[in-house]
Amino acid sequence: AQSVTQPDIHITVSEGASLELRCNYSYGATPYLFWYVQSPGQGLQLLLKYFSGDTLVQGIKGFEAEFKRSQSSFNLRKPSVHWSDAAEYFCAVGSAAGTALIFGKGTTLSVSS
Amino acid sequence: DAGITQSPRHKVTETGTPVTLRCHQTENHRYMYWYRQDPGHGLRLIHYSYGVKDTDKGEVSDGYSVSRSKTEDFLLTLESATSSQTSVYFCAHEDSGSRNEQFFGPGTRLTVL
């Protein structure tokens, strides 16, 4: 069955510290991978995407993610977290245009001062 | 701005009443989706559309119907709302050549009393 697992429901990071959010997937086809961010009361904003090629992809707001096929992972990273990064983060997997994305259950990021 | 709006943004209704949520996109994209978001579940697909008058069911379609009479509009109808349909509803759109990259609206928070 196709699935996305985000093992951490809630993470707290100090402002200025580094961040890594984990994402593992189970998918039959070659996956397209996405990270979305959702601020409270807002819609989902696309942070970054991976289709093929270079396994380290850069996104908006200083985020990056690395695709590791052998581990079926697509972890999100940021070297220095800002208070404005506090939000919920969703990993999603897809395979072709016109098909549903499969979402993880999300990780809530809190940033402490 | 992802070129997509939803209306209403908030709605409170009573059990047994019909409810229609509207999604409007300005990008002329082929694919449109309705998801619902519930705590601990991430986003789950309700219905999707691959063209005018072409729709199909998603993972959690029971109790919902959709219609798409124009490229830009995708309507979600709850024929007889139930408390289990209290949720946040997101619409998304996708270009046919985008490799499953979806852009989301701001969401509609529906409460069924």
Question: Tens digit of pLDDT for each residue in A15-39?
Answer: 999 999 999 999 877 899 999 999 9
Per the structure, the complete domain to which residue A91 belongs is given by: 3-112
Which residue type sits at A56?
Answer: L
Domains of chain B: 4-112 (2.60.40.10)
Q: What rounded mean pLDDT belongs to chain B?
A: 94
Dist CA B50 CA B33 (whole Å): 9
Q: Total domain count for chain A?
A: 1
A97/B contact by beta carbon, under 8 A: yes
A100/B contact by beta carbon, under 8 A: yes
CATH number at residue A84: 2.60.40.10
Q: Calculate how close chain B gets to A37, using CA atoms only, in Å.
A: 11
φ and ψ at A11, to 5 degrees? -130, 140
Write out pLDDT tens, residues B29-41.
999 999 999 988 8
The arithmetic mean of pLDDT across residues A85-89, rounded, is 96
Category of A106 on φ-ψ map: left (φ > 0), alpha (ψ -120 to 50) or beta: left
Preceding omega of A31 cis (within 30 degrees of 0): no
> DSSP code of A9?
S
A28/B contact by beta carbon, under 8 A: no
Nearest alpha-carbon partner for B75 in B87, B61, B91, B62: B91
